[in-house]
């Protein structure tokens, strides 16, 4: 990444409507400034390393100017008209533009599941979803699961069974579990279903839950309680 690209990207992130910028805390702004500075420094170090010839492709890419497109995101039942750089992930659109910071950025590479949201009812990694591709789609985030003060049954089950420690992965875990229960209602399979030979109507055993939740990593290791919460939610509700 060239230093120019770093700056463009950060400028883009900061280029939000003023009322949204105002709601950012000082802490948030100082974090931004730090990230920006660190980005420029590391880019300067990187340019010192001769980087043979990805040259041509890199040049074509460098010659491309940023493109901004109008995108309508329907999030938790409300439509938002946004103007977004094509590089913006759905996760960044939710967090930085709509200030829905429940969905978390863990790895930003589709490896941890902290960013999991429901896109047209299906669980996806919002970090690898370009926001422009979600134009017109119905998106449900952790903020949209409860009905007023009444928690979604999966949220209630996570509380009841203490399915978290630090809580950072929890919004993704819960959105993933909501997706899991919906998938299971349609008799979807997992690899465990094949191992047990139960490929007609797979029962949601603990092994099935573990496999079906494997896209969500918990560094605190709250897995036993997460499995208990999903098991309870599966039994207790039609979710």
Residues in contact with other proteins by the rule CB under 8 A: 1, 5, 8-9, 49-54, 57-58, 60-67, 69, 85-87, 89, 108-110, 113, 116, 119, 122-125, 128-130, 132-133, 176, 179-180, 183, 186-191, 193-194, 197, 199, 210-212, 214-216
The whole-angstrom separation of Cα 85 and Cα 66 is 7
For other proteins, the closer of residues 14 and 160 by Cβ is: 14
CB of 145 to other proteins, least distance (A): 17
CB of 177 to other proteins, least distance (A): 11
CB of 169 to other proteins, least distance (A): 13
For other proteins, the closer of residues 8 and 138 by Cβ is: 8
Other beta carbons within 10 Å of 159: 12
CB of 210 to other proteins, least distance (A): 8
Strands 68-75 and 138-140: parallel
SS (H, E, C) 164-228: CCCCCCHHHHHHHHHHHHHHHHCCCCCHHHHHCCCCCCCCCCHHHHHHHCCCCCCCCCCHHHHHH
């Amino acid at each position: 990444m060239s230093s120019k690209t770093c700056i463009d990207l950060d400028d883009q992130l900061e280029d939000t409507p003023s009322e949204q910028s105002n709601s950012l805390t000082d802490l948030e702004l100082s974090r931004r400034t730090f990230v920006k500075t660190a980005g420029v420094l590391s880019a300067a170090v990187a340019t010192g390393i001769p980087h043979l010839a990805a040259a041509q492709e890199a040049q074509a890419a460098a010659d491309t100017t940023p493109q901004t497109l109008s995108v309508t995101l329907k999030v938790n039942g409300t439509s938002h008209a946004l103007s977004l750089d094509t590089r913006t992930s759905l996760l960044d659109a939710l967090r930085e533009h709509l200030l829905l910071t429940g969905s978390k950025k863990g790895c930003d590479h589709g490896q941890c599941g902290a960013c999991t949201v429901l896109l047209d009812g299906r669980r996806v990694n919002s970090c690898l979803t370009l926001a422009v591709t979600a134009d017109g789609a119905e998106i449900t985030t952790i903020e949209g699961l409860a009905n007023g003060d009444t928690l979604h049954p999966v949220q209630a089950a996570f509380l009841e069974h203490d399915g978290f420690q630090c809580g950072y992965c929890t919004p993704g875990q819960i959105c993933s579990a909501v997706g899991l229960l919906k998938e299971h209602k349609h008799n979807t399979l997992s690899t465990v279903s094949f191992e047990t030979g139960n490929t007609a109507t797979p029962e949601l055993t603990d092994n099935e839950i573990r496999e079906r939740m494997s896209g969500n990593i918990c560094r605190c290791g709250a897995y036993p309680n997460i499995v208990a919460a999903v098991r309870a939610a599966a039994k207790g509700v039609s979710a």
